[in-house]
């Protein structure tokens, strides 16, 4: 999960490495995901999310589809 | 949190719960994880039990140990080693494992602050800022190269 200056930088970087381009999200989306994901880490009762709970967090900020699915292991 | 501080243990908390919390609190307070002997002192258990707990937490993907050691490398969002994702709040500094984690450090401590990294393509420094809970800073885009189902195949490079 890297931060790029622009979509063009992602295209060039992916091409140079010969790797397929993945998925992108806005900085705002990433901040929302970070907050949803980590807000409970200092709580004594923290436990890892189930795959279903993870997918629900992703869906809550608009991340859906095979890339964000935990059952799409290939 | 320091090795002299004990963590109070609620009745239903497991050793692993308390060890995990001790790791997180020391990362927050000191920017580093406790060593196994410090964990043993903080939690009030023998060092061998602390190391066994660390291994269980690593097996459960709650933390990552440095290969071949009982030393904490990552307890997301924190990294024990410097990374390209620096998090600052005033004169305090932490390291995130990726941009998600770097922002996650600020989310974890519920604090304003800033994240400094650079574009992997052009090398331009990039800075994000959280102020009053809102994100701002340089224009930038986040890229995920690995599908979610494969993140733990090689968490060190993910």
Q: Do B122 and A9 touch (CB under 8 A)?
A: yes
Pairing outcome for strands B141-144 and B85-89: unpaired
Q: In sequence order, which ranges of B11-156 are alpha helices (DSSP H)?
A: 15-30, 36-43, 47-59, 99-108
Q: Do B141 and A19 touch (CB under 8 A)?
A: no
pTM attached to this predicted model? 0.90
Please indicate if any CB of chain B lies within 8 Å of the CB of A19.
Answer: yes
- In a structure prediction context, what are the per-residue pLDDT tens digits for chain A, which is 74 residues long? 999 999 999 999 999 999 889 999 999 999 999 999 998 999 988 888 898 999 999 999 999 999 999 875 44
Strand pairing partners for A3? B142
Please indicate if any CB of chain B lies within 8 Å of the CB of A4.
Answer: yes
| ipTM for the whole complex | 0.92
Residue B60's CB is within 10 A of a number of other CB atoms, namely 12
Per-residue pLDDT, A44: 87
Residue B44's CB is within 10 A of a number of other CB atoms, namely 13
Q: Do B119 and A37 touch (CB under 8 A)?
A: no
What phi, psi does B73 have (nearest 5°)?
-95, -50
Q: How close are the terminal C-alpha atoms of chain B, in Å?
A: 29
């Amino acid at each position: 999960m890297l931060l790029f200056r622009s979509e063009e930088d992602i295209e060039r970087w992916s091409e140079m490495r010969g790797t397929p381009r993945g998925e992108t999200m806005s900085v705002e989306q990433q901040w929302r995901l970070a907050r949803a994901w980590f807000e409970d880490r200092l709580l004594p009762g923290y436990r890892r999310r189930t795959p279903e709970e993870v997918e629900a967090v992703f869906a809550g900020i608009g991340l859906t589809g095979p890339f964000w699915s935990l059952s799409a292991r290939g | 949190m320091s090795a002299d501080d004990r963590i109070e243990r609620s009745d239903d908390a497991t050793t692993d719960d308390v060890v995990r919390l001790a790791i997180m609190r020391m990362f927050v307070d000191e920017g580093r994880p406790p060593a196994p002997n410090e964990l043993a002192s903080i939690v009030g258990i023998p060092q061998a039990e602390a190391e066994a707990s660390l291994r269980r937490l690593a097996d459960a993907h709650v933390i990552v140990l440095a290969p071949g050691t009982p030393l904490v490398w990552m307890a997301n969002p924190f990294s024990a080693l410097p990374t390209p994702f620096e998090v600052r709040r005033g004169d305090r500094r932490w390291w995130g494992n990726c941009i998600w984690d770097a922002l996650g450090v600020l989310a974890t401590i519920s604090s304003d602050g800033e994240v400094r990294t650079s574009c992997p393509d052009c090398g331009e420094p990039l800075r994000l800022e959280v102020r009053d809970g809102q994100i701002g800073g340089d224009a930038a885009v986040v890229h995920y190269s690995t599908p979610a189902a494969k993140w733990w195949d090689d968490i060190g490079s993910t």
